[in-house]
């Protein structure tokens, strides 16, 4: 089952496309990271997924084919927006009561127990809580709805490292213990490398690369060799990003450990942060012409 599936999805504000020709399928059971620069279309894609806005083109379904924004879809999705939406003058207990009344399913016992474990006083107003506590309260309200899909928009952007670590630990626990699928956007690539097992990279309103992190890392390498031979070697592979010096050239390429490395060159594995930055620097690199190999252990195409 795909928790999010889009086909030709686009959203236009006036004459500007915030998202265009977005086609992807995110399988259930993943912590999927949505990565891209400011203005890439990340928040637009998340808003379309949860039904806050309607598409200008194409369509989006969730949770195995439900139309985004439908009552059935909303019942299975919990969303925490970037600005941690809480009523600042209401206490944590009031927020639990309000959320319980607004949803058909809400595990109040779980919510109270979790806030107690976090040391968040039920009678304290949300506006008097620290930034980390506000984020945890918003996350608790979302998880207490027992969603099948948890959508998070830049959830740790304003948190200090310890609060960020604690927040993501809770997300991972929900994914592991309760089987919740997660789709989150973030600029903190180092944090995503620790928690995400699926990557969707947006740039200029389009999907540049999408797939399971292990598969993407296995299908990319960094090769280093003489600058004089760089062009000749590059013709044999799909080059995502190149750093050229007078003596040496570093190429991040689509290739596996089984692909031969020419004499005088060295190959190294690539990390998630390095891979994401390469595609952000070179939008459209996933569509460059090059070898197209199937399930014989060789390079497979990255989805667009």
Cα separation of 20 and 48, whole Å? 12
Cα separation of 126 and 131, whole Å? 10
**Any idea which of 56-70, 75-89, 108-122 has the lowest mean pLDDT?**
75-89
Cα separation of 280 and 267, whole Å? 22
CATH class of the structural domain 2-212: alpha beta
Assign 233 to helix, strand or coil: helix
pLDDT at 33: 93
Residues 6+ apart with CB under 8 A from 126: 86, 87, 88, 89, 90, 91, 92, 95, 134, 137
Q: Give the pLDDT mean for 141-166.
A: 88
Assign 185 to helix, strand or coil: strand
Task: Give pLDDT tens digits for 17-36.
Answer: 999 999 999 999 999 999 98
pLDDT at 75: 93
Q: Is the pLDDT of residue 166 over 50?
A: yes
Residues 6+ apart with CB under 8 A from 99: 106, 141, 144, 145
Assign 301 to helix, strand or coil: coil
Q: Delimit the domains of the chain by residue range.
A: 2-212, 219-287
- If you average pLDDT over every residue of the chain, what do you get? 86
**Any idea which of 81-85, 142-146, 206-210, 284-288 has the lowest mean pLDDT?**
284-288
How many Cβ atoms sit within 10 Å of the Cβ of residue 14? 5
Band the pLDDT of 283: cuts 50, 70, 90.
low
Strands 181-185 and 149-153 turn out to be parallel
Query: Which of 54 and 157 is assigned the larger pLDDT?
Result: 54
Q: Is the pLDDT of residue 158 over 80?
A: no
Query: Cβ(236)–Cβ(250) under 8 Å?
Result: no
**Any idea which of 28-37, 152-161, 230-239 has the lowest mean pLDDT?**
230-239
Query: Cβ(126)–Cβ(137) under 8 Å?
Result: yes
* Diameter over CA atoms, the chain: 69
Q: Give the pLDDT mean for 96-125.
A: 94
pLDDT at 230: 79
43: tokens are 């928040």
Q: Is the pLDDT of residue 271 over 80?
A: yes
Q: Give the pLDDT mean for 240-248.
A: 84
pLDDT at 236: 72
Query: Which of 27 and 159 is assigned the larger pLDDT?
Result: 27
Single pTM value for the model:
0.84
Band the pLDDT of 162: cuts 50, 70, 90.
confident
């Amino acid at each position: 089952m795909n928790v999010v599936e889009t086909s030709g999805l686009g959203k236009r504000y006036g004459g500007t496309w915030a998202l265009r020709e977005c086609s992807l399928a995110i399988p259930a059971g993943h912590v999927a990271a949505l990565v891209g620069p400011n203005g890439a279309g990340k928040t637009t894609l998340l808003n379309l997924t949860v039904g806050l806005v309607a598409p200008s083109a194409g369509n989006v379904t969730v949770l195995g084919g439900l139309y985004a924004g439908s009552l059935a879809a909303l019942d299975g999705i919990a969303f925490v927006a970037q600005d941690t939406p809480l009523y600042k003058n209401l206490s944590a207990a009031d927020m639990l009561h309000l959320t319980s009344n607004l949803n058909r399913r809400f595990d109040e016992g779980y919510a109270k127990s979790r806030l107690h474990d976090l040391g968040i006083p039920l009678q304290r107003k949300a506006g008097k809580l620290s930034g980390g506590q506000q984020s945890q309260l918003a996350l608790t309200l979302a998880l207490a709805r027992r969603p099948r899909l948890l959508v998070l928009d830049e959830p740790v952007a304003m948190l200090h490292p310890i609060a960020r670590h604690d927040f993501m630990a809770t997300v991972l626990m929900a994914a592991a213990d309760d089987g919740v699928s997660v789709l989150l956007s973030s600029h903190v690539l180092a944090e995503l490398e620790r928690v995400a097992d699926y990557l969707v990279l947006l740039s200029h309103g389009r999907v540049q690369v999408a797939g399971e992190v292990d598969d993407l890392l296995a299908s990319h390498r960094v090769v280093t060799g003489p600058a004089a031979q760089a062009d000749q070697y590059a013709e044999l592979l799909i080059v995502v990003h190149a750093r050229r010096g007078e003596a040496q050239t570093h190429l991040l390429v689509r290739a596996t450990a089984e692909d031969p490395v020419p004499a005088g060159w060295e190959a190294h594995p690539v990390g998630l942060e390095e891979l994401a930055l390469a595609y952000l620097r070179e939008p459209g690199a996933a569509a460059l012409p090059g070898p197209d190999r199937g399930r014989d252990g060789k390079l497979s195409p990255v989805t667009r």
